[in-house]
Amino acid sequence: APVTAVCPTGTYSAADPTPTADRQCAPVTAVCPTGTYSAADPTPTADRLCAPVTAVCPTGTYSAADPTPTADRQCAPVTAVCPTGTYSAADPTPTADRQCAPVTAVCPTGTYSAADPTPTADRQCAPVTAVCPTGTYSAADPTPTADRQCQTVRLSIG
């Protein structure tokens, strides 16, 4: 009997012919099962290689791209510290990097800087006291970093 020279389309050669047996052709895995992805396409002599999907990214990384039928989950390093001039507006999650936001450089007109920015918080701007309450006077005008200073009026009798 003639030896099968090439396996038909949709199969691969699982075993070469021997003096006593024909070539063994096996069906190609059409789709990798759930929880795996196709790491290598089939060839005439090898089946499709299905590899397990990375279930969870390791510590210090986040899932930048979900797995697909032909690619594993893409894990990317978490931004450890936000760059100068920014602060951490949101901590990293298993599926998102740390969110860095620009620091408010100068508080808007009518406000002053009540708290300087930190690595995890923006500058805190507070409204300036426009007019001192009755019975007080303005002892110091507001500055970019301090509110108006109101002091109690003292009546001197005499």
Tens-digit pLDDT profile for residues 26-41: 999 999 999 999 999 9
CA distance 28 to 32: 10
The answer to whether the CB of 117 falls within 8 A of the CB of 123 is yes
pTM (predicted TM-score): 0.66
- Specify the pLDDT at position 157: 80
Element (H, E) at 35: none
Output phi, psi for 97, to 5 deg. -75, 165
In order, the DSSP letters of 52-73 are E---SPPTTEEEEE--BTTB--
